[in-house]
Structure formats: structure tokens, C-alpha cells
Amino acid sequence: MASLFSRRSAAVFAAALCITQLVLAQSPAPLAPASAPAPAVAPSGSLIAQPMAPEQFAACVQQLGDLTGSAGRPLAREDFLRIATAARYDDRVRQSLLVQAGEPTFWWDELAATTDDDRVRDGQRILASNLATLQRIEAQFGIPKGIVVAIYGIETNFGPSQGRIPVLDSTLTLACLRPCPPERATACISRERAYAAVRLLRDRKVRAENWQGSWAGAFGRTQFVPDSFEQLGVDFDGDGVADIVNSEADSWATTANHLRTRGGWLPGVPVYMEVTIPKEQQAAFAATGKSIRLPAQARKLSEWVAMGWTGFAADGQPAPLQAAGDPEVYPFLPVGLPGPAFLVSRNFNTIYRYNNSERYVMEVALLATRIAGGPGFFTPWPTDDPGLTRAQVRELQAWLQQRGHSLVQPDGVMGRHTRDAIAAERAAKGLTPERRAGQRTMQLLMQP
């Protein structure tokens, strides 16, 4: 595509980008997370305010070709342009970046959906049917098999939800929508991800015909972005190719390799321990509207015990806190008090490096706990309208369809059309104008 436009066109477009690039400039990030974090709300006036014209995208690809000297790994300009000019701008990337700031996203909604009974049962089935392979991966990399299976479940629902956007298209579109200063000599996230995608195709480490993934370029069964996969991909099934699209074994081993290589794992230490904080210390953890995570306050578990912090037994009764080796742990309160409180270990940080999201870490850790037969959280969330499981969302969606909301599909995902329909039905019932439904709201909406 870029070959249809002159170098002068590329230069004109590059100049037009400069002002925006000063705002959107990204800090160097030599180590990308494995999978992509949730999109952020777009700044007004940015490149993602409207679709990019074909000639703009083509000029951007040309500009990226001129900057291959900054790539973190060798990439010739000729190789880049030979492969990259086959890419197409995909507006789904821009739309994913334009997440509405007002859309409610509560901890109790996300964990109710991502760690529901259906996913727990599916995870237990995956674990049982692949036990020998997962045990070998655990022995080689030192990462608990339950954590690997939980990541598999959270990332792609154990395989089928790998994404539908061509990775070359998504990474180049993202690099053009989130440009880095062209004068920067070091690699930066969006540009390096696009270069890595081209290198994977150049080196035939992926197959172009079925290389699809998320809006941010994450692909495969455990959703690796190209720059992380390029460095950490593992051929565990012995066929000579690290294939995280088709091979579960390669996907699991690649995930374990990331957790070991970029995080370090403390064997036998839980990711989290739910705790009760002594009353005289609770004021320091009052809700502020943000999560409270205090790694600077890490200390030995025995020191927290000496301060009066207690844990829970499997039946929910108070119990002493204990873990092998008396590890260092620190407080983490997702919503402050009142609400669940935890002491988390270095293993929390390790999963966080896989996907830079506190919710993601707790989804993975809680799902792994439940797959192993352990309990959920004992402390209730501070809400009178707890979140819905995917089965409950599907039930609500079927009812919304019956109410005439034809765009709603019973897929168990609380997407835009479902939220639009919920808002309309809430208004019809005289409820507060929100685009969310929990267990109590669902009953109110569906009652005659």
C-alpha cells in the first residue's frame, strides 16, 4: 500500500504527526508484558479521535520503514516494507482504544464473570486431561500448573477466544495511532511491537494465513504480544516450532517461561492470603476510590502476624496466617475498607508483569485457587448488587431479546448492546439511569 505514495507524502504526514507525538510519546519499555492490558480512555484531539485515512496509514507505514534502525532487534528497511505494505488499517483497534470513561467496571462484576463455576469446571477438566504435560512444565519452569491453566482460562477461555484481527494489521495500526517520536533512538512499545510482528513473519515463526489476535496484537492460546513471544516462545511438544496458536503445550510452556524469566516465582508461596485487619489499624485502609497496594510496606509474614493480622480457614473461620519460608508480603485492598483485604507475595508481582492489571492478577489467582478446590473470597464486596456469572448474563440477555432488543446476543459478555438494553429497561422500570445490572438489578428488571 505504501508504495502507492511518494516519500514526500510520507514526510508531510510525518510532520503532521509531530505535534501529536509530543503528547502521545511513550517511555522506552524494553520488556513488554505477555498479553495486552485493557485499553485506556483516549485523550481528546488525539489521532484516535477519528478513523485514519488510507493515505495516512500508508504514509505512516513508510515512516516506520524509515525508522527500522531504532528497532530493538535487527530489521532491514527493505524487509519491513516488503511485509508491512501488505497490512491494512483496522479501525477496530481505534474503537478499542476509545473505551467510554463512564462505563462501569467493578471488581465484583469482573471476578464474578471470569471465575464462575463454568470456568472452574472447565479448568479442572483441562488440568485432569493434560496432567502429565502440565506436571513436566511445572518441573522444568517451576511455575504451578494451576496458575498456567488459570491464565489459559482468563486469556482465551481455554482456547476458543484468541481474537479475530490479523496481528500484522493490529500492530501496525496501533503503531500509527500511538506513534513514538521519530527521533527516538531506543525502542518503544508500539513501534517495537510492529517491528517484532514483521520479524516473526520474516523468519516464518508464525503463519500469516491464521495469525489473528486481539486489538493490541496479542495472539495465541495464552495471548502473547509479538515482542514477548519473539523472546520467550517455547517449543515444548518437540515439533521444532514454538506454536502458541495451535499447541496447548507450547502455549503453557511459553507462559511458564515468561513467569520464570521476567518475574521469578517463589515456590510454595501463595499469590494472596485473605486477611482480617485489626480494628485499630483499619483507618489507614479506608476506601479512597482507588485500590490500595503497598509494596513498599513489604515485611515478613510473621511480622504481620505479630501486628494482629489474621487469615481464614477453608471454612471461613479465623485462622493464623502461615506460609512456607515466612515470605515477605504486603497489603493489597482492591477497593479499600470495607471490602476484601489481602497480603500478597512476590508472585503477585510476577503475574502483574504478565499483564499489567491488578484485576487480572486476582482473576488468575482466584481461578487457580478454585480450580484446585479452594474457596472464593470470604469478605463480601461493598455492594448490595453483586456481579453476575456468565450464565446469569446469558439468561438476562435472552430476556432482553424477548423484550425486543434485537442487537443483544446471549453470549455471556456484557458488551455495548447489552448495556444499551439494560439502560433502556432500567429507565422503563424507573430505576436509576445506569448501564449495569447485578444480581439484585436483574431480578428487579425481570420481574413482571
Residues 401 and 276 in one domain: no
With cut-offs at 50, 70 and 90, classify the pLDDT of residue 97. Answer: confident
Measured torsion, CA atoms of residues 247, 196, 96, 188, in degrees rounded to the nearest 10: 140
* Count of the separate structural domains present in the chain: 4
Residue 139 lies in a domain: yes
Tell me how crowded residue 91 is: count the other CB atoms within 10 A of its CB. Answer: 13
Residues 130 and 247 in one domain: yes
**Helix, strand, or coil (residue 387):** coil
Q: What is the pLDDT, as a whole number, of residue 47?
A: 82
pLDDT digits (tens, 9 = 90+) for 162-199: 999 999 999 999 999 998 876 655 558 899 999 999 99
Residues 399 and 337 in one domain: no
The residue out of 340, 371, 402 marking a domain boundary is: 371
Task: Burial-class residue 172 by CB neighbours within 10 Å (0-12, 13-18, 19+).
Answer: buried
CA-closest candidate to residue 203, choices 227, 221, 223, 230: 230
Q: What is the pLDDT, as a whole number, of residue 99?
A: 64
Residue 217 lies in a domain: no
Inform me whether the pLDDT recorded for 9 exceeds 70.
no
Residues 150 and 228 in one domain: yes
Residues 324 and 347 in one domain: yes
Range of the domain at 74: 2-101+166-209
Angle of helix 107-114 versus helix 358-371 axis, rounded to 10:
40
DSSP string across 229-290: HHHH----SSSSS--TTT-HHHHHHHHHHHHHHHT---TT--SEEEEB--GGGGGGGB--SS
438 DSSP β-pair partners = none
Residues 339 and 357 in one domain: yes
Q: What is the pLDDT, as a whole number, of residue 12?
A: 33
Residues 22 and 60 in one domain: yes
344 DSSP β-pair partners = 272, 330
Q: Model-level pTM?
A: 0.89
Q: What is the pLDDT, as a whole number, of residue 22?
A: 30
Residue 136 lies in a domain: yes
Return the C-alpha cell found at 91: 479501525
d(CA 431, CA 440): 12
Q: What is the pLDDT, as a whole number, of residue 36?
A: 77
Q: What is the mean pLDDT of residues 309-315?
A: 96
Using only the alpha carbons of the chain, give its radius of gyration. Answer: 23
Quote the mean pLDDT of the chain.
90
For residue 204, give the amino acid letter.
R
Residues 121 and 13 in one domain: no
HSE-CB at 390 with a 13 A cutoff on CA atoms is: 13
The residue out of 318, 338, 371 marking a domain boundary is: 371
Q: What is the pLDDT, as a whole number, of residue 39?
A: 56
The per-type count for the chain, helices as H runs and strands as E runs, is: 18, 9
Residue 345 lies in a domain: yes
pLDDT digits (tens, 9 = 90+) for 65-90: 999 998 989 999 999 999 999 999 99
Residue 93 lies in a domain: yes
For residue 3, give the amino acid letter.
S
Residue 377 lies in a domain: no
Residues 33 and 115 in one domain: no
Residues 254 and 282 in one domain: no
Residue 384 lies in a domain: no
Q: What is the pLDDT, as a whole number, of residue 186?
A: 58
Question: Residue 413, Cα to own-chain centre: how many angstroms?
Answer: 16
pLDDT digits (tens, 9 = 90+) for 213-234: 999 999 999 999 999 999 999 9
DSSP string across 320-359: ----TT--EEEEEESS-BSS-EEEE-HHHHHHHHHSS-HH
Residues 153 and 243 in one domain: yes
With cut-offs at 50, 70 and 90, classify the pLDDT of residue 104. Answer: low
Residue 385 lies in a domain: no
Residues 159 and 170 in one domain: no
Inform me whether the pLDDT recorded for 139 exceeds 80.
yes
- Put residue 434 in one of left, alpha, beta given phi > 0 → left and psi -120 to 50 → alpha: beta
d(CA 52, CA 59): 11
Inform me whether the pLDDT recorded for 16 exceeds 70.
no
CA-closest candidate to residue 151, choices 41, 38, 248: 248
pLDDT digits (tens, 9 = 90+) for 336-374: 999 999 999 999 999 999 999 999 999 999 999 999 999
CB 332 within 8 A of CB 343: yes
Inform me whether the pLDDT recorded for 245 exceeds 70.
yes
d(CA 282, CA 337): 7
